Amino acid sequence: MKISEFGDPVLRTVAKKVPIAEIKSERIQKLILDMTDFLSSKKHGVGLAAPQMGESLAVAIILIRPTPNRPEENKVKLTLINPEIITNFGQRKQMWEGCISAGPINSSLFAKVPRYKKIKLKYHDEKGAKREKIFDGLLAQVIQHEVDHLNGRLFVDRVKDPKTYTTFKEYMRLVKAKSNS
C-alpha cells in the first residue's frame, strides 16, 4: 500500500462522507480491511485515515497497542466512519504527535500539538451502526488527529511552538529520558 505524504493534495482536501447505505459495500469493507492490515503491519503508528491511502473518504482506523513506551495502554481497535467531534472537554494540553504521512519513520517529524484530553464523538462503525461515545487519553488524542486528516488538516497546522519540532530519533530519546526519570 502506498501512503500519501505531506504535499499530496489529497491530504489537504475535506474527505467525502460515506453514504450509510455504502458502509457494508465491498469497496468500503475492503478499504477498512486494507487500512487495518497496513496499520497492523507497522511497529509505529496508532491511527490511519483513508486520505493517507489516497482515498478521499471519511474513514479512519485506530489501532492502539501496548509498546515499550506505553506498556500501560490497553489494546484498542476502532473503525470510524463519518466521525464528528461534538464536544470537547476541559483545556487543551500539549501532546507529542507524529504522522505516518510525514515520511519514513526514521526521518519523520514530531512536535507538541494542543489536544483535548476528552472528547465526545459521533460516528458510524464498520457495520453501519450509529455510535456516540466519550473518549479520553491517548485514544481521544488519536481520534482528534485522524478527524483532522478527514478535514484536510495536518498536525503541523496545529503546532503552537515550532521549537518542539524534533526528529523520530530525538523524540525517542526524549521519551526514554522521561520514562527513566
CATH number of the domain at 24, please.
3.90.45.10
Question: Which residues lie closer than 8 Å to 171 by C-beta, 6 or more apart?
Answer: 96, 98, 110
Q: Which residues pair with 76 in a beta bridge?
A: 64
Q: Which of 31, 67, 68 is nearest to 46 (CA)?
A: 67
Domain assignment present for residue 2? The answer is no
- 4 in a structural domain: no
26 is catalytic: no
Banded pLDDT at 2 (limits 50, 70, 90): confident
In a domain, 3, yes or no: no
Of 68, 51, 71, nearest in space to 145 by CA: 51
Confirm whether 14 is domain-assigned: yes
- Report the C-alpha gap between 37 and 58 in whole angstroms: 18
* SS3 assignment, position 7: coil
What percent of the chain shows pLDDT beyond 90?
Answer: 80
User: How many domains is the chain partitioned into structurally?
Assistant: 1
Q: Is residue 42 part of a domain?
A: yes
- 83 versus 104: the higher-pLDDT residue is 83
CA distance 32 to 153: 21
Of 148, 146, 122, 129, residue with least CA distance to 23: 129
Cα 4–chain centre separation: 14
* Domain-located, residue 81: yes
In a domain, 1, yes or no: no
Kind and range of the H or E run holding 142: helix 137-150
pLDDT higher than 90, residue 60:
yes
What average pLDDT does range 60-80 have in this prediction?
85
Q: Which of 5, 132, 146, 170 is catalytic?
A: 146
Q: Please report whether residue 160 resides in a domain.
A: yes
Q: Which domain holds residue 38?
A: 9-180
| Confidence (pLDDT) at 83 | 98
- Which pLDDT band, with edges at 50, 70 and 90, does 74 fall under? confident
Q: pLDDT per residue over 103-161, tens digit each?
A: 887 888 999 999 999 999 999 999 999 999 999 999 999 999 999 999 999 999 999 99
